[in-house]
Amino acid sequence: MLIQTLPDTMTRLAQMGDAAVFEPVGDNPQQERRRVPYQSHSLEECITNVSTPTGKRKILKTMVTTACERNCYYCPFRAGRSKTKRVTFSPDELASGFDTLQRAGQVEGMFLSSGIIKGSVTTQDKII
């Protein structure tokens, strides 16, 4: 008998570490470290430092979804790329996960991106 469980929000955020390397934000965006294949996921891969007028701040760098209906050739999340693992958060899940990390003092802000599902307006509404 095979029993599968759905990963919790923090596990899914950690899985977004692979997706986060494609978003140029942080101290050294061109020097973001690449994970070794099959290495375990860590939330540290989704947290980066950004410079502000008052000093460095840790932010959560993640996406609402790695799924996308568009097939832009340059994009690692394009529709035609079948090997990409697809992870999607509901707005409440993402807010809850961020709140947990913020209350724990691990992050002070969020850099949020997303693939496009059901049109750009619907996707933007989920972000707002």
Q: Which has more pLDDT, 28 or 53?
A: 53
* pLDDT of residue 28 exceeding 60: no
Instruction: Report pLDDT for 99.
Output: 92
Instruction: Report pLDDT for 56.
Output: 92
Residue range 13-24, pLDDT digits in tens = 777 766 666 666
Residue tagged 């991106």 (tokens)? 113
Residue range 34-85, pLDDT digits in tens = 544 444 467 777 888 888 899 999 998 888 888 888 888 888 888 877 777 7
Contact predicate 109/48, CB 8 Å: no
Residue range 98-113, pLDDT digits in tens = 999 999 999 999 988 8
DSSP conformation letters of 42-66: -GGGGEEEEEETTEEEEEEEEESBS
* pLDDT of residue 2 exceeding 70: no
Distance set, CA 83 to CA 1, 23, 43, 71 (Å): 27, 19, 22, 14
> What's the DSSP call for residue 109?
E
**pTM for the whole structure:** 0.71
The residue type at 58 = K
